[in-house]
Structure 1
């Protein structure tokens, strides 16, 4: 699966997927075969971190 490389576009994509289809980041990454570390590190560059309670990057 190809995901956006741009951090802002990635943020939008991941948060939408989490909101609409996945109950947490681990399941999303497993189902879509994505690197959790890549997502976390990329979104950290724009000061977003995963919030488990909200199930989104904030």
Structure 2
């Protein structure tokens, strides 16, 4: 699956995947073959931070 380029849609898709399919961001990135640093930086650029405790970006 190719991830959306729009950061707001990306935020929504990633959080849905984290909620429904993955117990951690590391697991999601490994399974989907996504560069974790790029993903985190893309979402951070628009104001979202990953919470490991809650397993979601906010």
Q: Given the two structures, how large is their TM-score scaled by the length of structure 1? A: 0.95
Q: Distance in 1 between matches of 2:43 and 2:3?
A: 13
Structure 1 unaligned blocks of 5 or more: none
Q: How does 1:1-58 map to 2 (within 5 A)?
A: 1-58=1-58
Q: Distance in 1 between matches of 2:33 and 2:5?
A: 16
The alignment yields a C-alpha RMSD, in angstroms, of: 0.6
Consecutive aligned runs of 4 or more in structure 1 exceeding 3 Å deviation: none
Q: Distance in 2 between matches of 1:2 and 1:30?
A: 14
The CA deviation at 1:45 is 1.1
Number of residue equivalences: 58
The CA deviation at 1:15 is 0.2
Q: Given the two structures, how large is their TM-score scaled by the length of structure 2? A: 0.95
The CA deviation at 1:38 is 1.2
